[in-house]
Amino acid sequence: MHLTNKDSFVFYKNPGDHNVNYIIGEWTNSQEFKSSNSFIITPFTGKTQEISGNKGLLNIDIFISNNETNNINTFSKEQYIDQVEKYIKLCKNNSIDKIVLSRIVKIKNNIPNIFTIFKKLCESYDHSFNYILNHPDYGMWMGASPEILIKGTGGNFKTIALAGSTKWNNNIKWREKEIEEQQYVKFYIENILKGHTENLKCINDLETIKAGNIAHLSSTFHFNINSSIYNLIKDLHPTPAVCGIPLKTTKELIINNEIHNRKLYTGFLGEINKDAISLYVNLRCMRINFNEFNIYVGGGITAKSNPQEEWEETEIKAQTMLSLIEN
Lowest model confidence (mean pLDDT) among 55-59, 99-103, 269-273, 302-306: 55-59
pLDDT at 267 over 80: yes
Question: Model confidence over 186-218: pLDDT tens digits?
Answer: 999 999 999 999 999 999 899 999 988 899 999
Number of domains in the chain: 1
Tell me, what CATH number does 235's domain have? Answer: 3.60.120.10
DSSP state of 5: T
Q: Which residues pair with 61 in a beta bridge?
A: 2
Q: What is the pLDDT of residue 35?
A: 65
CA distance 149 to 245: 18
Indicate the pTM of the whole model. 0.95
- CA distances from residue 315 to 65, 83, 170, 310 in whole angstroms, order as listed: 30, 16, 20, 9
Q: What is the pLDDT of residue 130?
A: 97
CA-based end-to-end distance of the chain = 25
pLDDT at 70 over 90: no
Question: Model confidence over 82-131: pLDDT tens digits?
Answer: 999 999 999 999 999 999 999 999 999 999 999 999 999 999 999 999 99
Owning domain of residue 279 = 2-326
DSSP 237-299: SSPTTTSEESHHHHHHHHHHH-SS--TTTTSEEEEE-SSEEEEEE--SEEEE-SSEEEEEEEE
Q: What is the pLDDT of residue 60?
A: 85
